[in-house]
Amino acid sequence: MFFRKFAGSEDCLYLNVYAKDLQPDKPRPVMVWIYGGGFQVGEASRDMYSPDFFMSKDVVIVTVAYRLGALGFLSLDDPTLNVPGNAGLKDQIMALRWVQQNIEAFGGDPSNVTLFGESAGGASTHFLTLSPQTEGLIHKAIVMSGSVLCPWTQPPRNNWAYRLAQKLGYTGDNKDKPIFEFLRSVSGGEIVKATATVLSNDEKHHRILFAFGPVVEPYTTEHTVVASQPHESMQNSWSHRIPMMFGGTSFEGLLFYPEVSRRPATLDEVGNCKNLLPNDLSLNLDHKLRENYGLQLKKAYFGDEPCNQANMMKFLELCSYREFWHPIYRAALSRVRQSSAPTYLYRFDHDSKLCNAIRIVLCGHQMRGVCHGDDLCYIFHSMLSHQSAPDSAEHKVITGMIDVWTSFAAQGDPNCESIKSLKFAPIENENNFKCLNIGENFDIRALPELQKIEPVWNSFYAPHQL
């Protein structure tokens, strides 16, 4: 998925279970992993998510595959077709039910299951904690570099099914039943290829990253996962009673470096930044207010300079906040306001020349910074991994992260031997957002991103809307 070549099969609903042995002295905590990839690509294989580091601890790891793109997130309004959407999320729930029924055979404790995921996997984790379908299936959750409030988690409903069918040769009316029948006659491979061509240039300009993703389902069934807008779901969820941990990397926006490098016009088209305002905000703004907010955003990141190739890094910093950090902050804030269980916050900030494999693949060896996905290299071994020496800073970070993650999974508290000199406390109130900063050394600090979140991004919302 990092090399712009895709392979796959419609026969994809598998999961992997990893355990040191099948008969431990007592049942082990279970950690269920959901991979990222923008709901478009991804895999649960050992090529990308090998559990070697986790196997140093007493946990059982489960990695879950789920349907992607149009095959996983096609949504049609006609209830007679039974395609309301979110099939990919329902696959994940099916895996969690399988864990409840079968994990004891692998030495796992079905009453101690932590769901965790990164990017779209992090957003999926958050979505599932807000669904009544999963109460009793999840006992803790770690949401990495995502949340249900990220603008890419819910593409607008822009006739995607009809437009996809047209790309594949459909010439009929924009009616759900004939569209569905046509799409069923097309191979999965053709659908995947055509999906990549559906977005218009105007949609790309407004930072719509893909067509098919989670939706508020248009009608209710016994399997409904997302019944209301995320901000509404967050107000009253069973998951307020379980510990959760949120976090991200210190330069998430490097993810978009290849896109901007390939197409510099992306920067030239930014203009006054009104197209970069949060999606849920823009819908309700009159034209003049949108213009003013856009100019505020431009001033905060570019000052009086234009958004162009020379200022690419400023644009990528803005993307860090728009696509990731402000939605992560809002999700954690909602928990602090509503939840009776602890909410922890971490920030991955280890800038390694050798081990930050996602940055190296996407941006080259000369780029520095901690890209979206770089933290994965420190919890999973993969084909991208650099072999770190036992006395290296990278190995120290791996050991520390695995200790923190598995301690949280075991007892709902991330404090452990690796950070015994620190007190990693949950967020106490909305005016005291402290995080575990994960670098060559681990430390507790006020979330650095607050310097832009509070005066800039929060100013676009009324306090109750955050």
Catalogue the active-site residues: 119, 252, 372
d(CA 449, CA 466) in angstroms, rounded, equals 16
- Beta-bridged to residue 187, according to DSSP, are none
* DSSP secondary structure of 139-169: SEEEEES--TTSGGGS---SSHHHHHHHHTT
CA dist 22 and 313 (Å) reads: 49
Instruction: Output phi, psi for 162, to 5 deg.
Output: -60, -45
Secondary structure percentages of the chain, helix, strand, coil, to 5 = 45, 15, 45
Q: How far apart are the first and last CA of the chain?
A: 34
Helix segments in 310-452, DSSP class H: 312-319, 326-338, 357-363, 393-411, 450-452
How would you list the strands of the sheet with 140-144, edge to edge? 15-18, 60-64, 28-34, 108-118, 140-144, 244-249, 343-348, 434-438, 442-446
For residue 153 the two structure tokens come to 């988690």
Mode of pairing for the β-strands spanning 343-348 and 434-438 = parallel
User: How far is 323 from 276, CA to CA, in rounded Å?
Assistant: 10
The sign of the CA dihedral 331, 334, 336, 342 is negative
How far from 45 is each of 66, 271, 347, 378, 386, CA to CA, in Å?
Answer: 12, 42, 26, 17, 18
- What residues contact 192, with CB distance under 8 A and at least 6 apart? 6, 8, 69, 70, 71
CA distance linking residue 112 with residue 63, whole number of Å: 16
Count of alpha carbons within 13 Å of 373, Cβ hemisphere only? 26
Task: For tokens 């437009």, name the residue.
Answer: 163
